[in-house]
Amino acid sequence: MLHVPDRRSRMDEHEDRALRRALPPVLTDEREIEAVVRTFYGRIRDDALLGPIFERAIGADWEPHLHKMFDFWSSVMLTSGRYKGQPMLVHMRLKTVRPEHFDQWLALFRATVDEICPGATADAFMVRAMRIADSLRMGMFFDPAAADPGRRRA
């Protein structure tokens, strides 16, 4: 029997292809990803605003978190599929995170990729980082009633 994908799966595939075309090309490797992650989290640890938040969440031993982030960014940048976590659920548990923290996170990330990566690669990292930050910020803080003042709160 011939399997014909339903309309929804064809649409998902089309959207996936369109999204991949819209993203800057990926010109990185695992070594560069590790350098970005290690440098970035070094900056996070030293940051007066974000350092204490991460310290409370991660604790004293950052190495397991760094390895998880190697996997995450490998999956994001190289589509390696190594990361198996659920970042939204993890971040939803962090009650001290505020929307403005994402701006600082992005500023530190931008400084890191600009220092480590060539221009096009830094841009590719940043496009993805901004999408991730926007997604987390929206998932954690979006208030439909605030977005639509005519909507009644439950």
Residue list for the binding site: 65
| N- to C-terminal Cα separation, the chain | 49
Judged by DSSP in three states, 92 sits in: helix
Q: Measuring CA to CA, how many Å separate 39 from each of 2, 30, 94? A: 51, 14, 23
Instruction: Quote the tokens at residue 69.
Output: 């982030």
Give CA angle at 48 (113, 68), nearest 5°: 50
CB-based contacts of 38, cutoff 8 Å, min separation 6: 66
Task: Determine how many CB atoms are found less than 10 A away from the CB of residue 56.
Answer: 10
Binding-site entries for heme? 65
